[in-house]
A = this chain, B = another copy of it.
Amino acid sequence: MTSPGSLEGTEAEVAACRSERDPFQWDVREDCQVRQILDRIADKWSLLVIALLDEKTLRFGELGREIDGISKRMLTVTLRNLERDGLVLRTVYPEVPPRVEYELTPLGRTLLGTTQALVNWSEEHQDEIAEARQAFEAR
């Protein structure tokens, strides 16, 4: 049985991600590793956490306060997933009261450019999207 949150996949499955019919075309298979990684990164909170961890190391509570609407539970879950995937480093300082800091790993930092591009795109095109929506509703 597959453990929860697993990213496993056989080599055959991974190889199936690039179509055999056309190596430049993309096969969107459910068991594809890329699909699974995408699903994890593109969830409700991960992108936001990664964006906030740009440059600045942040504590658990700081992240919670910066991300409007996230619960402690989901912050913990999200951070654990990112840590598990090697994107975020968690450092516990044995003090009292406890202090835990989160920062991007080198691997996590390679993702940063892409995520920021997504955020920037959203910012740049939000007006166009708002207009498209209005036009669609007025149909």
Contacts and interface: CB of A to CB of B under 8 A. Distances in A.
Interface of A: 3, 6-8, 14, 17, 26-35, 37-39, 41-44, 47-48, 51-52, 66-69, 83-87, 107, 110-111, 113-114, 117-119, 121-123, 125-126, 128-133, 135-137
A68 B28 CA distance: 6
A26 B51 contact: yes
Contacts of A33: 122, 126, 130
Contacts of A32: 68
Given A28-B48, A38-B118, A110-B125, 12 more contacts: A7-B130, A26-B119, A27-B66, A28-B51, A29-B68, A33-B130, A34-B122, A37-B126, A37-B129, A84-B132, A84-B137, A86-B131
A107 B122 contact: no
Q: Per DSSP, are chain A's interface residues mostly helix, strand or loop, or mixed?
A: helix
Contacts of A130: 7-8, 33
A129 to B, nearest CB: 5
Task: Tell which of A14, A87, A121 has the most Cβ of chain B within 10 Å.
Answer: A121
B68 A129 contact: no
A7 B136 CA distance: 12
Contacts of A132: 84-87, 107
